[in-house]
């Protein structure tokens, strides 16, 4: 998968993809992330990319021209499956959407900043608008990192048996069961007998039961779906 990201703060987007599972995805040739500085597409003095909003009001808006120029340039070179705008008024990202996007070849992600981007860019170019939750961030960059991480780990071949996504929380609308490692007893707290039993059926049943109980207690909304 190739992911292109357009941002006015490209430095925010570098380190998250250079470690751990995202790094392994890149090393295996399964995920390529390319970050583009919106200012490189400005024809104005000081590489200006934002302006005051019509109608007045606090906060700057990312202008049409640099964004259109950046997207046109990238679209002339790659055929994107989705052009995604990260915005708090988008659809909230969930595991189902991450699963679906992980099967795409080329994604273009636009990060807003300040008050966001000119509405006409949304009308003309954007095919999908995503939020990562009901709170406001200073810009779309951290949200884009969250999105690429959530998608990247699901790309076929990125995870192995040890890191398999099949047992993640949300993968079947259930939270994951508790996990334990050595020692078998820590400060008087024991690992549940079922997990030490060596009986795979017993272990699976215990995990399913715990996942159900945990979901019922913490996220009953997931069980309604």
User: Applying CB under 6 A, which residues contact ligand 6GU?
Assistant: 86-88, 131-133, 135-137, 139-140, 143
* In the complex, minimum distance from the CB of residue 144 to ligand 6GU, in angstroms, rounded to a whole number: 7
Q: Which of 146, 155, 121 is nearest to 32 (CA)?
A: 155
Rounded to 10 degrees, the C-alpha dihedral 71/76/81/86 comes to -10
Among residues 136 and 189, whose Cβ is nearest to ligand 6GU? 136
* In the complex, minimum distance from the CB of residue 216 to ligand 6GU, in angstroms, rounded to a whole number: 27
* In the complex, minimum distance from the CB of residue 34 to ligand 6GU, in angstroms, rounded to a whole number: 19
Q: Which of 106, 101, 109, 107 is nearest to 156 (CA)?
A: 101
Among residues 167 and 170, whose Cβ is nearest to ligand 6GU? 170
* In the complex, minimum distance from the CB of residue 143 to ligand 6GU, in angstroms, rounded to a whole number: 3
Where do the H-state alpha helices sit in 78-158?
A: 95-101, 119-125, 141-152
Among residues 126 and 159, whose Cβ is nearest to ligand 6GU? 126
Helix (H, G, I), strand (E, B) or coil at 192: coil
Q: Which of 107, 8, 25 is nearest to 16 (CA)?
A: 25
Among residues 121 and 211, whose Cβ is nearest to ligand 6GU? 121
Helix (H, G, I), strand (E, B) or coil at 107: strand
Query: CA-to-CA distance for 89 and 112, rounded, in angstroms?
Result: 12
Helix (H, G, I), strand (E, B) or coil at 54: coil
* In the complex, minimum distance from the CB of residue 92 to ligand 6GU, in angstroms, rounded to a whole number: 8
* In the complex, minimum distance from the CB of residue 88 to ligand 6GU, in angstroms, rounded to a whole number: 4
Among residues 22 and 111, whose Cβ is nearest to ligand 6GU? 111
Query: CA-to-CA distance for 184 and 121, rounded, in angstroms?
Result: 57
Among residues 89 and 161, whose Cβ is nearest to ligand 6GU? 89
């Amino acid at each position: 998968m190739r992911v292109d990201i357009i941002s006015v703060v490209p430095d925010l987007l570098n380190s998250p993809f250079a470690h751990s599972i995202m790094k392994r995805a890149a090393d295996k040739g399964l995920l390529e992330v390319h970050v583009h500085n919106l200012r490189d597409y400005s024809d104005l003095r000081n590489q200006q990319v934002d302006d005051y909003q019509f109608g007045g009001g606090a906060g700057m808006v990312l202008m049409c021209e640099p964004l259109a120029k950046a997207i046109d340039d990238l679209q002339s070179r790659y055929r994107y499956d989705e052009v995604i705008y990260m915005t708090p008024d988008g659809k909230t990202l969930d595991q189902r959407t991450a699963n679906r996007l992980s099967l795409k070849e080329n994604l273009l992600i636009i990060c807003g900043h300040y008050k966001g981007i000119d509405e006409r860019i949304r009308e003309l170019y954007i095919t999908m608008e995503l939020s990562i939750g009901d709170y406001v961030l200073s810009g779309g960059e951290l949200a884009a990192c969250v999105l690429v991480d959530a998608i990247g780990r699901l790309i076929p071949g990125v995870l192995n048996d040890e890191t398999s996504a099949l047992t993640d929380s949300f993968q079947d609308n259930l939270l994951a069961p508790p996990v334990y490692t050595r020692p078998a007893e820590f400060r008087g707290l024991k690992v549940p007998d079922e997990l030490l039993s060596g009986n795979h059926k017993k272990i699976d049943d215990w995990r399913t039961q715990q996942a159900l109980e945990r979901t019922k207690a913490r996220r009953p909304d997931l069980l309604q779906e």
